[in-house]
Structure 1
Amino acid sequence: MSLESVRNHLASAAPELEVIVTEDSSATVDLAAKAHGVEPGQIAKTLSFQLKDKIFLVVARGDARMDNKKAKATFGGKVKMLGLDEVETLTGHPVGGVCPFGLAQPLPVYCDVSLKEYDVVIPAAGATNAAVRIPPERMAEITGAEWVDVCQPRQDASPQA
Structure 2
Amino acid sequence: MSIERARRHLDGFGLGARIIETEASSATVAEAAAAVGTEPERIAKTLSFDLGEAGIALVVAAGDVTVDNRAFKDAFGVKARMLPVAELPQRVGYAVGGVCPFGVEPGVRVFLDASLRRFATVFPAAGTANSAVELSLAELEAASGAEGWVEVTKPRA
Aligned amino acid, residue 74 of structure 1: A
Aligned pair 1:150/2:152, yes or no?
yes
After TM superposition, give the deviation of residue 105 of structure 1 in Å.
Answer: 2.7
Aligned to 1:30: 30
TM-score after normalising by structure 1: 0.90
Judged with a 3 Å threshold, the aligned counterparts in structure 2 of structure 1 residues 31 and 111 are, in CA distance, closer, same or farther, namely same
Of all paired residues, the percent bearing the same amino acid is 46
Q: Secondary structure at 1:97's aligned position in 2?
A: coil
Aligned to 2:68: 67
Aligned amino acid, residue 84 of structure 1: V
Q: Secondary structure at 1:13's aligned position in 2?
A: coil
List structure 1 runs of 4+ shifted beyond 6 angstroms: none
Find the aligned partners of 1:154 and 1:117 in 2 and give their Cα distance. Answer: 16
CA RMSD of aligned residues (A): 1.5
Paired positions, count: 155
Find the aligned partners of 1:15 and 1:152 in 2 and give their Cα distance. Answer: 30
After TM superposition, give the deviation of residue 67 of structure 1 in Å.
Answer: 0.2
TM-score after normalising by structure 2: 0.93
Tell me if structure 2 keeps the 8 A contact 1:26–1:96: yes
Find the aligned partners of 2:132 and 2:153 in 1 and give their Cα distance. Answer: 22
Aligned to 1:135: 136
Find the aligned partners of 1:19 and 1:98 in 2 and give their Cα distance. Answer: 14
The superposition leaves residues 36-91 of structure 1 with CA deviations (integer Å, 9 ceiling, x where unpaired) of 11111000000000122311100000111010000000001212001110112111
